[in-house]
Structure 1
Amino acid sequence: MDIEMENYDDEDPAEIYRKCVELLSSKDFIMEDSVIPTLKRFIHVKGTKEEAIHLLSSNYDAVAQIANLLAEWLLMTDLTLAEVQSTVEDNLKNMIIKHFDQKKADSIFLDESKGNPDWLTALIQHQPWRKLIFQLADKYPDCLMLTFTVKLISDAGFQSEITSISTASQQLEVFTRILKTSVTNFLEKGEEMLDSEKVLTEFAKLVSHGEHTYLYSQVLLHYLSLEPKGGSNVKRLFQEISRFAQKNGHNATPIMLALMGISSHPRLAQALSAMLAKDALNPADITTLYKCYQETSPPPVEFLRIPQFLDLLLDALFKPGSKLHSEQRPKYVYLLAYASSVHEAYRKHNNAYNNVQFRKSINRDELKPTIQAIEKVSSLCVERKGSSEIMPELKTLYQMIEKYQVVAYGIVYWVKHVVSEPSYFKLNTEQTPLHLALLDEVTACHNTLHKITLNLYIDIFEKQYDELEVLAQLELKKMILDRMIHLISKGCVVPVLKYIKQCWQKGDTDISLFRYFIIEVLSMITAPYSIEFIDLFLPLVECEEVTGNMRSEVETTLVNEFIETCKNLKNENRVHLED
């Protein structure tokens, strides 16, 4: 409570006296910053010291002092200072949330001459209270004081803590800062963040909160995606946000296509937007696209590279049992081959953002062989799915997988559908089913398909197979671990180890599987190891429950040598940092 001390000689002494008595009679007023100015004013209008002392002391409940006393008692019960502080803060936050009054909070700003309260600036320097402000801002979106405080927090550089979508989207300046921070993190950390489903989903939720935030963000990301440095990562963000909006029932296709410059190609726009909006292909629109891309000067290939459209083409060409008319099938194949093999070169232009206008060449050298490869492999996948049926064509499949990434992607898509059938692993008794052996070849030839293949392995590993006996289930999981170990040998180290560590922390996986995984990995690796690798793998290896009782002396030696090597590397790294 602030009391204005200037020019009070012009006010009515009786009114001043009444206001001072009211303030001095309020609960614990002696703790307020304005107590000294109020006392001076009270004495100035002939109030007595005795009366002031009586008013302050009789209304002193010592709430803050009692809280401090209780905190000191808690410290005597062997609680740490951090635990006591957290307890006090949590209780205080609960009381504030329960009794928060929006009108009283907004009254702080009624007198513009007083400026921002000093205590508010001090408050936002502490993370627990910033978190409280965000909670209250979500609950009271129209509160002037909270809106202003959120902006103060953003101005102070703590915008990355604003995780609430509604809080972030209330002010353009705050939203822009959060968007900038998020995009910067994506650019700096690259694939690590782009491969994180959780991070991408949270970012997409933020951007897709409202039409205004979606349009603003997508326009910004589109122009950034045209920059030569980091543009590809930003384009991935742009596409992921469009996909998220589509999955959540929002027809964001017109915005995406408009930003890509499709208005210059009306026939293409009508056909493509219709299929994307319905999330389904149809022969008439496919024929329109086919004709557009057979022209001498076809539309840009980027329209065919929209992830949603590519998924629809893969589904039509590689899903077991897919029924395409013999006359239509070549058109589907042509569009997928065109999207994956045609390369376009553009002129640089400093004042233009739409590359469509400045294309200088189209390279279609790989189009015909890619068409032939897709036609050959997709026919095999759709018509035959048993190991015995595929075996005669195995050499051809391996050659196609190695040479054409789009074929490898189609194989992964096909295998995913085949192995998802309930009876697949019950009927396939081979040590490594042929379909999974094909995935080994995919991961050996194409590191960009590591993530999608690992996700498939995770789905199989976590699925319940109640129709199999317990031992058969363990053998199945070991077989999938072998596939993951193969992924590690091909460079997909951190994602696999993160998943295995996550399974170990959950505690719902058989210990023998971790023991098997550890020995297999230790058998194929050698020092030196990165700090990230040590942080992920060493805790699992050191776990007494997992590696405490190894079956052989060789296994025990592997474990002990790895632990010793890691400790030495950590010590060397610590010394290096200190120097």
Structure 2
Amino acid sequence: MSIPANSSNGVSAPLSDADHRKRTQEEMKLELSKPDAIMEPSTESVVDRYLEAGGAPFNTMNLLMSSYEGLAAMTNMVSSDLGPVYGSGINSAISEAVSRKIIESFDPQVADSKYNETEQLPEYIEAMIPHQVWRKTIYRLSERHPGSTMLSAALQHIADQGYQAEMMSLSSAPLHTHIFYSLLAECLENMSPANEENIHQKLGELITAVCRREQTYLVARYIFHGVQQKLGAKAAGIRRIDDELETYMLDNYKRPQLAINIQLLLSGLVVGGGNSVVDAAASIIQEEYAATGDVASLYNEYHGAVVSGKLAPPVDILRNGCVLHPIIEQVFGHLWDTTVQKMRPELANKYI
């Protein structure tokens, strides 16, 4: 006994050519029935598919006319009527209203789904990028939907078009690694010809791009550390930039532990791994005080390495201001602060 193809075995019969054409017609009719379908850039291809599937030309005209609502024409009419009232600010007011509507109705899942099909940005994104008001709309969308694939690609395209400078204020830009690298490279290029008169302005631009998030701060410090390792004595300029970034983090975020932890990691030491140098430095930074036990630990490690001929721990740890200043305060603080007692000579030798 023969079994129908669409029976309970779960296998459906393939559509005949006539059925396929009928389904295509129905799908295209739904597209042409959407409000103001005639204004959509894809309408021409939809009509072509409908006609190729055997649809009647008269139906396309009927569907497009019945679905026309004239929203664009009404917008132009309202703009024309409001012009005498608001003057030259009418365009910006309408643009802002449209921008808010776009942000409210944007669906990142739908946008990403369509983008992933072609891996090409929609034409309307390309048309928006030359205009600052619409670039700002994309920025605001990226702030709200930082995980959107399409918006990430749009930000990259905006950066490629030369608008990196206006992207530095975006909190979402550092989340996109490729964009952050572009921003970092541009900041460094701008700093290359800087002098003492404008170096602080250029540093400010770099700090804005780097110090917004812990992740970008870590990546930047890692890059600068690698450059210093490669250039050696020629890396004085990079070392100054590195110091400025660390100083900014300490002064503005009051998180010295973050700065020292990153420095320890870059030095090849594990934070919280039981290393006496790490523990002593972390304790000094945390307490903002150079306790005798912590200084003795540092002394034993560094001096012991010199005496035994072993490799000493990284000296960058001792150069860190959060470690060095408390030590100096303990040794010489009595010279400018009467509340600090003069240190015993045998202890001072270890501190110095």
User: 215, 220, 242: which is aligned to 2:218?
Assistant: 215
* C-alpha spacing 1:274/1:121, structure 2 compared with 1 (3 Å): same
What is the CA deviation profile of residues 512-532 of structure 1, one whole-angstrom value per residue up to 9, with x for unaligned ones? xxxxxxxxxxxxxxxxxxxxx
User: 86, 101, 104: which is aligned to 2:92?
Assistant: 86
Residue identity (%): 23
User: 243, 256, 271: which is aligned to 2:263?
Assistant: 256
User: 323, 334, 338: which is aligned to 1:309?
Assistant: 323
What does residue 140 of structure 1 align with?
A: 145
What is the CA deviation profile of residues 65-106 of structure 1, one whole-angstrom value per residue up to 9, with x for unaligned ones? 2222222334334722xx333212211111111122222212
What does residue 26 of structure 2 align with?
A: 18
Amino acid at match of 2:339: S
Amino acid at match of 2:132: Q
Tell me how far 1:314 sits from its aligned partner.
6.0
What does residue 326 of structure 1 align with?
A: 343
Tell me how far 1:60 sits from its aligned partner.
1.2
* C-alpha spacing 1:233/1:10, structure 2 compared with 1 (3 Å): farther
Tell me how far 1:256 sits from its aligned partner.
0.6
User: 242, 264, 276: which is aligned to 1:235?
Assistant: 242
Tell me how far 1:254 sits from its aligned partner.
3.4
Amino acid at match of 2:263: M
TM-score by length of 1: 0.47
Please provide the CA RMSD for this pair: 3.8
User: 84, 97, 100: which is aligned to 2:103?
Assistant: 97
Amino acid at match of 1:122: A
* C-alpha spacing 1:15/1:94, structure 2 compared with 1 (3 Å): same
What does residue 281 of structure 2 align with?
A: 272
- Are the aligned partners of 2:289 and 2:327 in contact in 1 as well (CA < 8 Å)? no
What does residue 9 of structure 2 align with?
A: none
What does residue 531 of structure 1 align with?
A: none
User: 263, 286, 294: which is aligned to 2:295?
Assistant: 286
What does residue 126 of structure 1 align with?
A: 131
* C-alpha spacing 1:122/1:319, structure 2 compared with 1 (3 Å): farther
Aligned length: 319
What does residue 31 of structure 1 align with?
A: 39
Tell me how far 1:26 sits from its aligned partner.
0.8
* C-alpha spacing 1:258/1:95, structure 2 compared with 1 (3 Å): closer
- Are the aligned partners of 2:280 and 2:294 in contact in 1 as well (CA < 8 Å)? yes
Amino acid at match of 1:30: I
Of 230-239 and 240-249, the range deviating more from structure 2: 240-249
Distance 2:176 2:249 in 1: 23
Distance 2:71 2:346 in 1: 79
* C-alpha spacing 1:121/1:84, structure 2 compared with 1 (3 Å): same
- Are the aligned partners of 2:211 and 2:249 in contact in 1 as well (CA < 8 Å)? no
Distance 1:205 1:41 in 2: 52
2:161 counterpart of 1:153: no
Distance 1:61 1:165 in 2: 37
Distance 2:64 2:76 in 1: 20
What does residue 368 of structure 1 align with?
A: none
> SS at the partner of 2:340?
coil
- Are the aligned partners of 1:239 and 1:306 in contact in 2 as well (CA < 8 Å)? no
- Are the aligned partners of 2:327 and 2:351 in contact in 1 as well (CA < 8 Å)? no
Bigger relative CO (Cα 8 Å, ≥ 6 apart): 2
> SS at the partner of 2:264?
helix
Amino acid at match of 1:91: A
What does residue 76 of structure 1 align with?
A: 84
Structure 2 unpaired stretches of 5+? 1-16
What does residue 11 of structure 2 align with?
A: none
Structure 1 unpaired stretches of 5+? 1-8, 336-579
What does residue 574 of structure 1 align with?
A: none
What is the CA deviation profile of residues 419-447 of structure 1, one whole-angstrom value per residue up to 9, with x for unaligned ones? xxxxxxxxxxxxxxxxxxxxxxxxxxxxx
TM-score by length of 2: 0.73
Tell me how far 1:24 sits from its aligned partner.
1.6
Distance 1:109 1:214 in 2: 31
Distance 2:322 2:47 in 1: 72
Tell me how far 1:242 sits from its aligned partner.
5.6
